[in-house]
Structure 1
Amino acid sequence: MQIGDSHSANDAFSDQMRTALQQQFGNAGRGFLQPGVPFRYYHPAQVTVSSTGWSAVSAFSKTATGPWGISLVRQHADAPASMTITADEAGGLGRGMVEFLGQPGGGRIIVEADDGGRTVISTASSRNSDAMWLRMPTTPDTRSVTVSAMGDGPVDILGWEVGKGNQARPEPGILYSNLGITGSTIDILSKVDPGILSEEIRHLKPSLLIVAFGTNEGFNTTTNFDSYSARYEQIIQDLHSAAPMAGIVVTLPPDGVRQERQAPYARSCDKLAYGTRGFATPPALDTVRQAQTSVAQRNHWMQWDWRQAMADTTHPDGRCTILVWGARNPPIAARDHVHLLKVGYQQTAASLYNDLMNGYGLWSSQKHKK
């Protein structure tokens, strides 16, 4: 499970990881997704999602109130609404679950499979903010599932999970879920309801948590670095406490720069990226990297440096490489000098995959020696 900001919301990096791991260990399906269409330009790999009548409520909103689960988004409806998930390949929806919020006065939902399965359930509960799971009425031949609110009371969907095989015998292999919120920092995870998180972890059983925040902390002028390291560490520890059997990968942010016209460090990229002038790495981004490195080392968590994965012989530490990547023909980094394009995300994902597999190889060899 990869959790982070816009780099994780974009499925290019995570899908390259998903594809490589599934080729190595088997394709168990798409995994857990944010419900419906959580934001514009949402294009998850392996499935197609459509939605009508729902309102996305994000934990990133300053005015919206919880509760939220690990997806950090819920879809709300007071009137009739529907969302459909369709597998891009046969067998992709052999099994699945819908996570919804039980609440006083909650309305009914209908879950329908395209090959005839149909389930109706009330989301009414005497307890408020109670996460509940409903098994999708699927078969190995199911290609699409539609979740509908009937309009007879409020309904909130927290997420859905789909995979291959069937409910009794899941297809063995890898499920790789990416959950990202554009513009977010590590602090957004503090909004996850502990009770809901506990129930989600019990269902999803993630074996690896890839935590990928830092870009927005490094570009925000309001980040409080007096307490950042402690907050970052505590939030990941809380996440790990909910999933104690999961490994942790602390992912340092990729390279990012901005144009500085008056600051004394304005020319820090001039000698590293020819043809561009006045660009610099925000000093706070290096502060973020240092804090995350210290936290990872202190807790013996795996640390992966996204910027280092962008390095070349001219830029051995990866600094200012996003300008070089953006100037390629065709470019592999976006014009905002913060995000990568699909090929750039795929190239760096291959680096993380190789690092993970190197570690897996060492573990496997030591295990067999025993």
Structure 2
Amino acid sequence: MTLVLTLLLGVGLSLAPVPEALRPIPSLAQGPVGPRLVELVATSSAASKRKAVGVAPDGESDAPQVPVLPEEDDPEQLVEVETTDAGTPLPVPVVSDSLGLANLGPTTRESALRMELLREKLGARHVDLELGCRRMGASGCEESGMAPFFAALEALRDGRRTQPVRVEHLGDSLIASDHITDVVRNRLQERHGSGGKGFVYIDRPTRSGRGVRAGQASPGWEFIRVIDRAPPKDRLPMSGVAFTAGGAAGPQDVRFAIEDARTAEISFLAQPGGGTVQVLADGKSLQKVQTRWTPAEVAIARIKLPTGAKTLTLKSRGKVELHGVSLENGNPGVVYDTIGLPGAYAGVFLRTHRPYFRAQIRQRKPSLVVLMFGGNEAFRLSRDWTKPEEIRQEAEALVKLVRESVPDAACLVWSPIDAAVRTMGGDLVPRRGSRMVADIFRDVAKEGGCAYWDALSAMGDEGSAIRWLSAGLLNEDLIHPRARGSDLLGHLFDLSIQRAYAASHPPVASTEPPGLRNLDKALTTTFTRLRSLEKGDSAHLGILQLGASHTASHYFTDAMRTALTKRFGDAGRGFIAAGKASERLKPAGVARELVGEWTVEDALTATTPGQAWGLSGIRAVGAPGASLRIRFCDGCTADTTPPARLSLYWLDGSGAGQPELKVDGTAMPPEPPPPEPFTAPTVRIRSFPVTGPAHEVEVLNQGGGPLTVLGAALDLERPGVTYDVAGLPGSTASTLASHEPQALAAQLSSRKPNLLVFWYGTNESGEANLDASKLRTEYGTLISRLKKDAGGAECLLIGTTDRLQQDADGTWAVAPGLATVTAVLPEVAREQGCAYWSARAAMGGEHSMLRWQRAGLGHEDGTHLTPEGYEKLAGMFLSDLIAAYEAFKAQPPPLAAEGG
């Protein structure tokens, strides 16, 4: 009865015409009474179930405590994307990259452009960072407030940094559930690489909201927080929460999903009488952390996690106080920590124990500290619970604490966002004090050497909260954005950072433009044949790609072959070099087998130039009695009806072994001997008519000497594309030029390629004293000769990928000959009438290999790509090739049109 009477009295006073500061329940004047009472009772009920240590769990009585933010927005309350009359979405506008969209992937970029539509509809604005000045000199500002952070990002880009770039983002309820910060984190990590998840709490500090930045904790953990009504002095660290175990509830545990993490840093209080923490990965014990120490101080325990582990579990025993766990993957990249507490303001974080604050933030080694407050200051100011002078003093003290604790870090201060209140008449008006607090924070940031971001202006200035509410982007409390509104704020903040970074550290322009070049006549025959195939005419396009390891890996060419044959028809697997069994051939359904005594030789190991090699610079030499098998379409169930041709390539000559050939297990009649014996190794080619793509050719050396096999080929005699691959790891264009010319010409004449694709330059780029003139002359002469040997084939040069070499100190430097290669190859292509495509430009130009490494696309050696990287690069090349083909179809040259 007492509770009911007290509640009725509070409701009556809250609805009475008295000043807002005297209302016991101010929020009841901001909307319908019923839902507010339900919310109040539900919040009180939930609070009674929590186990805060000796204090009220929902924070101090004069701070605005907020309801749980929704994990997902209600679609019915969101702004609808405009559509055409047919109901399809309007096209996303093409926006200049002056917004800051560089280096975002297609999915993220599309999402960002959708956010732009929403921004325009709401009247939100792009507001640039005010960089401030952290160090003045005789000539003015010598270092901006963001300089340390931007320098760290540049070092990541250049490969000079081997440690993560960490951001500590301290704030209030706007980020308590990782809204806003999640967008910024994801984009920074997409641009600059991910260093891992970063700091996460033991449990959610309010046990409500999203749990994405906390572990799964047992219910007996108790906590104390700086946002509580009477937090203990000299007790709490920078993260503002301490989770304790060992009381009446006994031992506790917490589990974290560790994803790609390789290290875990456990932050705890080392204290007299401290207990232990057992650390387990996937349920298996790793080590035990002892927390007993005198005097008490903040400490960390760094744990190396097993590769592939999925979960990390901490089990307490005795008196234990934990603050959180930092999860990182050991890679250079961005780590973005979110430290958000509902009801927090600058003065709240001043309640931390200064030595603990400094120790914990220093342990994180941040490059940037973001201070995101103001909303609760404005709320308190509107209730006359504080004064502007007090707000200024607290903000100045917090900035000073941060600058003194981590003097080498950049700092950035947010303004408050807009909020609204409901009058007694039910009207919505802007909350008083937001702009005043924003101006105070701007002055504090400037005086403290920090950057400043005016979130209030970005949102649309005072009154914008009302528009956001009507659009479904603001909660009914008139203070907190919903999930999509938070995403928009994160979008605007992220782009303000990127614009400032781009302005102070402009990207190094690539010396090679992206896309296909020299297309006037270079690919006329190729495109004409593709058009005939697409029309259903009887045509064939043979492509032969020659190169080094990028080609030999098969990942790039397999992706190209699959796409081209799917669209234009499959004319067979084509040429396969002789050699050992290879897992890389399996995706294409090819198997090789060597039985007996074989030696696989390559042109790189040749002691004398001018020897005869297969197209790829490889040959397999078998002793008498040895056999070799090559199977095409191994294990497949393809159509067996189309006529086909199965061919074997080997070397004949004085003292050569005598081959016995079998096709699908059936011995073939011996070939008549040549009219005159060969005086030098000579390429012999024998073809057999078959049907369908699934066949095996076997060669047995009957004796008389060693038998040298170069390869085999399977061609379907139907319209389509054949994509031959001849790559030798470590080779250069000069390696190919050293092959015996007649043997090379005989194989090219047999394969009859219409298009020769050359992909050399990567190994040349590793030469410290690369001769540009010699490279230009020798490469050009080689291309001219091979085009002629192939019967007048067209040609296309692929330029080298980005290549970096790691110094002894772990930093990455550009390969010594890379600049020469990127300058010479386009000239060679132009002189020889070849099309040209720069793989390096497609990757993103200078130091793009670092970004590909961080995305799992570049190999750790700085030279090669991962399988996923080769497939991505092939997709880029194919996209440019097909775009050029479509342009050709739209306006073909006159001769091509006549002959089509």
Alignment TM class, shorter chain as reference: 0.7 to 0.9
Mapped to 2, the partners of 1:121 and 1:299 lie a distance apart of 40
Aligned pairs (5 A) from 1:151-166: 151-164=703-716
Q: Which residue of 1 aligns with 2:559?
A: 16
Secondary structure of the residue aligned to 2:868 is helix
Mapped to 2, the partners of 1:280 and 1:103 lie a distance apart of 49
Q: Which residue of 2 aligns with 1:30?
A: 573
Secondary structure of the residue aligned to 1:304 is strand
1:253 to 800, 804, 807: 800
Which is worse superposed, 338-347 or 217-226? 217-226
CA pair 296-227 structure 1, distance change in 2 beyond 3 A? same
The answer to whether structure 1 residue 46 and structure 2 residue 589 are counterparts is yes
1:68 to 613, 621, 627: 613
Secondary structure of the residue aligned to 2:651 is strand
What residue identity is the alignment partner of 1:31? G
Aligned-pair RMSD on alpha carbons? 2.5
Q: Which residue of 2 aligns with 1:200?
A: 747
Higher relative contact order (CA 8 A, sep 6+): 1
Mapped to 2, the partners of 1:8 and 1:175 lie a distance apart of 16
CA pair 248-261 structure 1, distance change in 2 beyond 3 A? same
What residue identity is the alignment partner of 1:131? V
What residue identity is the alignment partner of 2:546? I
TM-score normalised by L of structure 1: 0.84
Shift of 1:141: 7.7
What residue identity is the alignment partner of 2:701? A
1:298 to 827, 831, 851: 831
Stretches of structure 1 lacking an aligned partner (at least 5 in a row): 165-169, 263-276, 312-317
Stretches of structure 2 lacking an aligned partner (at least 5 in a row): 1-543
Aligned pairs (5 A) from 1:289-368: 289-311=822-844, 318-328=845-855, 331-365=856-890, 366=892
Q: Which residue of 1 aligns with 2:150?
A: none
CA pair 156-137 structure 1, distance change in 2 beyond 3 A? farther
For 1:27-79, what per-residue CA distance to the aligned partner results, in whole angstroms no more than 9, with x for missing partners?
Answer: 11110121132x87653623111223321121111426612242311111232
CA pair 122-369 structure 1, distance change in 2 beyond 3 A? closer
Secondary structure of the residue aligned to 2:721 is coil
For 1:229-276, what per-residue CA distance to the aligned partner results, in whole angstroms no more than 9, with x for missing partners?
Answer: 2112111112122124311111111111112359xxxxxxxxxxxxxx
Shift of 1:11: 0.3
Whether contact under 8 Å (2:745, 2:786) holds in the other structure is no
Give structure 1 regions of 4+ aligned residues with deviation exceeding 6 angstroms: none
CA pair 55-174 structure 1, distance change in 2 beyond 3 A? same
Whether contact under 8 Å (1:100, 1:132) holds in the other structure is yes
Secondary structure of the residue aligned to 1:176 is strand
Which is worse superposed, 176-185 or 294-303? 294-303
Q: Which residue of 1 aligns with 2:663?
A: 113
Mapped to 2, the partners of 1:141 and 1:177 lie a distance apart of 15
Mapped to 1, the partners of 2:652 and 2:837 lie a distance apart of 38
Aligned pairs (5 A) from 1:91-240: 94-114=644-664, 116=666, 118-121=668-671, 125-136=677-688, 138-140=690-692, 142-164=694-716, 170-221=717-768, 223-240=770-787
Q: Which residue of 1 aligns with 2:821?
A: 288
Secondary structure of the residue aligned to 2:572 is coil
Whether contact under 8 Å (1:33, 1:71) holds in the other structure is no
For 1:304-325, what per-residue CA distance to the aligned partner results, in whole angstroms no more than 9, with x for missing partners?
Answer: 00012212xxxxxx22122122
Based on CA coordinates, which of the two structures has the bigger radius of gyration? 2
The answer to whether structure 1 residue 58 and structure 2 residue 602 are counterparts is yes
Whether contact under 8 Å (1:35, 1:160) holds in the other structure is yes
Mapped to 2, the partners of 1:55 and 1:64 lie a distance apart of 18
CA pair 127-253 structure 1, distance change in 2 beyond 3 A? same
The answer to whether structure 1 residue 83 and structure 2 residue 628 are counterparts is yes
For 1:75-126, what per-residue CA distance to the aligned partner results, in whole angstroms no more than 9, with x for missing partners?
Answer: 1123211121222323589421111112023222122122635343477833
Mapped to 2, the partners of 1:332 and 1:107 lie a distance apart of 45
Shift of 1:364: 3.2
TM-score normalised by L of structure 2: 0.36
CA pair 300-106 structure 1, distance change in 2 beyond 3 A? closer
Mapped to 2, the partners of 1:279 and 1:162 lie a distance apart of 44
What residue identity is the alignment partner of 1:210? V
Secondary structure of the residue aligned to 1:227 is helix
Mapped to 2, the partners of 1:137 and 1:108 lie a distance apart of 22
What residue identity is the alignment partner of 2:577? Q
Whether contact under 8 Å (1:56, 1:75) holds in the other structure is yes
Shift of 1:12: 0.2
Whether contact under 8 Å (2:801, 2:838) holds in the other structure is yes
CA pair 123-369 structure 1, distance change in 2 beyond 3 A? closer
Q: Which residue of 2 aligns with 1:265?
A: none
Secondary structure of the residue aligned to 1:175 is strand
CA pair 115-51 structure 1, distance change in 2 beyond 3 A? closer
Whether contact under 8 Å (2:572, 2:693) holds in the other structure is no
Whether contact under 8 Å (1:78, 1:155) holds in the other structure is yes
CA pair 179-123 structure 1, distance change in 2 beyond 3 A? farther
What residue identity is the alignment partner of 1:83? L
More helix per residue: 1 or 2? 2
Whether contact under 8 Å (1:36, 1:84) holds in the other structure is no
Mapped to 2, the partners of 1:115 and 1:32 lie a distance apart of 20
CA pair 151-361 structure 1, distance change in 2 beyond 3 A? same
Mapped to 1, the partners of 2:577 and 2:741 lie a distance apart of 18
